Each structure stands twice: as C-alpha cells, then as structure tokens.
Structure 1
C-alpha cells in the first residue's frame, strides 16, 4: 500500500511539473530539495517505463534519477542476464556494455537471436514483458512438399525460413516452454508467414489453427483463411515488410508450471479440391507476444 501511495503521489507531482514547465522557475518545486536522488530513483522504479521517460523530460535532476541503472534494472526481466548470455546476434559483450535504459530500448526495438539461431527474444515496450519467436528450423513441418530451409530471405530475423508448396496436405507444429515466458500474463501465438506467387487461383488458404497444452490436446481448433490483406503484419524496426501474421490462439501463463505450450497449423484439404492454385507458403516462425 505504501509503494502504491508513493507512486500515485509521484505521478501527480510529475504531471504538475509538466504543467508548470513553461512558467517562471520560481513557481516550480525543486524536487532535489525535497527528496534525495536515490529515493527518487526508487520511487520511479515502482512506476513504468513510460513514467520514467516522462520524468526524465521534467528537469536535469529528475533525468539523472529516471535514467539510472537502478530504475531500468527493475523494468528488465529478472533473468535478462542469463538470456543475453545466450545471444549470438548481437554478441552478448555488446549488450552487457549498454546502460540498463539503452539495453531495455534495444531489446524492445531489435530482437536478439539466441543459441543456435532458431529462437529470438525481445521485450514488449510498454510493459517490459518477454516476447519470443520460434524459428522455422525448430518447427515440425510435414507434408506439403516442403522444400526445406532457404538461406538469406530478405527481411527475416532468421537466416533460414521454411517453404511449403501448397499442393497437398501439410501440418506445422511448434512448442515453447512456458517457464521462460513472463508470469501472470496472457499470451497470443502468431504464425509469421508470407505467401508466394499464385497462379490460376485466389491468394488465401484455408487452415485450422490450434494452441493447446498436453492436458487439452484433443480440443478442436478454429478454421481461418491465410489472407494477405487480413493478416498484414505491422511494420517493425527489424524489417517486418512483407511478412504477415495469423493469430493462432491465446493462453494464460500463471507461473510457467504448465510445461510446453503447443501451436499447430493444418491445411484443411480444401485447397486442392476447390482451387486451382500453385503457390508457396514461407514460414518464418511462431511468435509469442503478451496480449493487450
């Protein structure tokens, strides 16, 4: 309760300081005379990244407190050191050289590639919650005349993506351990894909999507169409141009005790009987992001 009261009062003071910023300096309160910097830093660390950025714009004194490592370390995941130690791109030494604030914003704007290059990690900017994408190499792909991984696809964060020729039944399945996700968070899983050139048919593909745990593996999924217009992926700083996303489903991660979460996509079989189409499906991966 005490922390909540301090945070509430601090936010009110920042709002007041912003309102008075254009007025004469002698009408404003010098917060350095009220509280020491380490106390201000501690209060800011109980707020949010947005509040810290607002505070940094009010005065030079607040900027020093709001930009401190003590504040931004609280906004980073508790296991961030272990995560960036696995970074293969960029090198972990570079990430460790950044201030905590710069590290936070770097991880929000630039996904890092972990381990053997098949998993990416970044932060959701408003909350600091974790986002992961399982790359195509770690997905199980069956049927569909899969041609195997392709090197150096433009705008992909991974060096390889999977290609399927949409001429017969296929299935894509992936999984991720819930213990590495942010706790007490609802996540949404997305298929990140591109459609290749079509010939003699339409540009959407009927599929069934599922997100499930082992305990409810027999539940039915939902049928959707992979549509280039409906599933256009928002532009991202890592080069999202051309990639699309289809929501596969959502789940709540309590404390990471549910084991792996599974995601699957299955072509319904309507394509070959209802359409005369020759095209390909490029799959970058399956992404897990916090829901808003």
Structure 2
C-alpha cells in the first residue's frame, strides 16, 4: 500500500491547483503554519489595520499574531508616546491598554491636549493623525469683543467653550497648523466645523474658504454656510445694538440664495455638527510647513449672526480601500 502523501497529510500542501502534470503548488496559507508567531506578526505588521483584523479571523495562530503589540505598534504613529504624554489622560491609556486597544480607542475617541484647545485622534482605516483646532485657538476678528462674539459652553462640544456670533458684517476666522504634527506623505483636508442657532440670520451670501501652504500655494473655494434646507429661512429678531441705518437693511425676508453648481454646501456630521471642506494640502516627509486656513465673508456687507464655531478639523482625505 502506498504511503500517505504530503497532500493527503494536510501538512504543507493543499489542493491549490497545479501545472497539469501532477505537480503540487505549495499553499501560502499552509506555509505560515511552519513559521514562528513572531515572524507571522512581523509580516502582518507590513499590511494595514484592516488587513490585520481580517487575518485575525483565519486561525488561532493568526489571531494571536495579528492582535500582538508587535503588529499594532507599527500601525500607531511613530511619535504616539509623545502625543499621549502631552494629552489629558494619555499616560493612563498608554499604561493600561494593549497597542491594539490603544489604536482602536484613539480611532473612536478624541483626546484633548493638556491645554484643552486641541483634540487628537486616528483615522481608523489608516492610522493617520487627525487634529481639531478649537475656536479658542483660532484667530476670530473681533472675537474678544462681547458686542460681536460671545464665548459659552456647549454640551455637544468636545472643548470647554465655543464661539457664538452675535452680529458682524465682517466675518473672518483663521487657523494654522504645522505639518510636522501630522502624518507624513499624506493628502490632508481642512474642515470648518460649526452650527447655526435657531436665530441665525444673514448667511444668504456665499463665504470664501481657503488653505495656504508656506510655499505660497493657496486653494480658495466658495461655499455656503447654510444647509440646503435652510436657504429659505427668514430673518430672526434684529439685534438691538445695531444702529438704525443697518437695521433698515435687515428687516423682512432675506434674499433668495443663488445656488451655483460649483458652490459647496455644509454636510451633517455624526456628532451633530456641520462641516464644510476648506481645501487640501500634502504633507512632505522630513519637512515642516505652516498651513494657514481661513473662512470669511466680507464682500456682501450685510449683518449676520447665530454662527456657532466648534473649530477646524484637519484629517486625511478618504481613499478607496477595497
């Protein structure tokens, strides 16, 4: 009786196809079972977080390797320890969670820095860094004048305070970030994060948003800050502190918004805020550039109010991952 072949034994070979002459093709998946777990983990660490989660369901040895600190340490940003040390509660996370748990936590929660004016998280699929710059860190024209802006707490905000517009005719908000704090070789986009109060008025004219890099390249876009469903809203109560001359131009129904095809509308976020994309920029490895971002509406000259500012979020542009 012929001895049992390696194909029949299930070790090393499988029914993976052949060359038509009976030759057997070595199965890659079977080959992995001969490797130490550390080698498997090293190989998985060169894939992606999504691939690691998929491979964890293949077998027990794959799950053990795919869930290991060796794998998820590589998926975390290279400076994640410094980021956590400078964050509120970051050290506790660092000392209590596995690297996989830490990665998942940072992809699901915003971590505030020690000043409480910036938040940090990870993009879930790629592990790229995301930051939100709070309204307190932004340069808001007349933002320190209670006649025009007020600062208050908001239960839906991740920050201590948000900025609420009382009334201005010159709206200008600026922010900046250094690319060294972001993930290298990544296409990023900046998003203005805000809400409109029930008493909001005067936002029938488009606003200008822009992103400018230190190299001088400026990307400017025209957007509306009012969602589609709010474009026919009427003016609310006119603030009493505005003079009679200006009051005359605000009463009655606001003009119909002219929506052009190339103008962008804000989108509703899962956290209840609105966002509108301001522009894109690329982070070059081993280079540090200052990126400026702004939103302004200064051309129409009409008074406006009711804008609630959360901040500016900077995160990687989505990529199609199969």
What's the TM-score once normalised by structure 1's chain length? 0.80
User: In the alignment, what sits opposite 2:149?
Assistant: 147
Question: Would you say 1:270 and 2:300 are equivalent positions?
Answer: yes
What displacement does 1:267 show?
1.3
User: In the alignment, what sits opposite 2:316?
Assistant: 290
Aligned 8 A contact 1:142 1:171 in 2: yes
Aligned 8 A contact 1:168 1:269 in 2: no
Q: SS of 1:61's equivalent?
A: helix
- Structure 1's 29 and 251: CA in aligned 2 closer, same or farther, altered over 3 A? closer
Deviations 1:157-210 (A, max 9, x none): 1111111124411210000111111111111000000011246x6765521111
What displacement does 1:148 show?
3.4
Deviating beyond 6 angstroms after TM superposition, the runs of 4 or more aligned structure 1 residues are: none
Where is the helix percentage greater, Structure 1 or Structure 2?
1
User: In the alignment, what sits opposite 2:157?
Assistant: 156
Q: What's the C-alpha RMSD, in Å, of the aligned pairs?
A: 2.5
Deviations 1:246-280 (A, max 9, x none): 111111111262421000111134261xxxx7641
**Residues in 1 aligned to 2:209 and 2:97: alpha-carbon distance in whole angstroms:** 40
**Residues in 1 aligned to 2:188 and 2:276: alpha-carbon distance in whole angstroms:** 14
Question: Would you say 1:280 and 2:282 are equivalent positions?
Answer: no
User: In the alignment, what sits opposite 2:82?
Assistant: 82
**Residues in 2 aligned to 1:147 and 1:47: alpha-carbon distance in whole angstroms:** 48
Question: Would you say 1:176 and 2:169 are equivalent positions?
Answer: no
Q: How does 1:2-151 map to 2 (within 5 A)?
A: 33-88=33-88, 90-143=89-142, 145-151=147-153
Give 5+ residue unaligned stretches, structure 1.
1-15, 17-27
What displacement does 1:81 show?
0.3
Deviations 1:93-144 (A, max 9, x none): 2343100000000000001001200111100111111101111111010148
What's the TM-score once normalised by structure 2's chain length? 0.72
Aligned 8 A contact 1:203 1:228 in 2: no
User: In the alignment, what sits opposite 1:261?
Assistant: 291
Q: Could you say which structure has the larger radius of gyration?
A: 2
Aligned 8 A contact 2:188 2:281 in 1: yes
Aligned 8 A contact 2:174 2:293 in 1: yes
Aligned length: 254
User: In the alignment, what sits opposite 2:237?
Assistant: none
- Structure 1's 45 and 29: CA in aligned 2 closer, same or farther, altered over 3 A? closer
**Residues in 2 aligned to 1:156 and 1:187: alpha-carbon distance in whole angstroms:** 23
- Structure 1's 161 and 56: CA in aligned 2 closer, same or farther, altered over 3 A? same
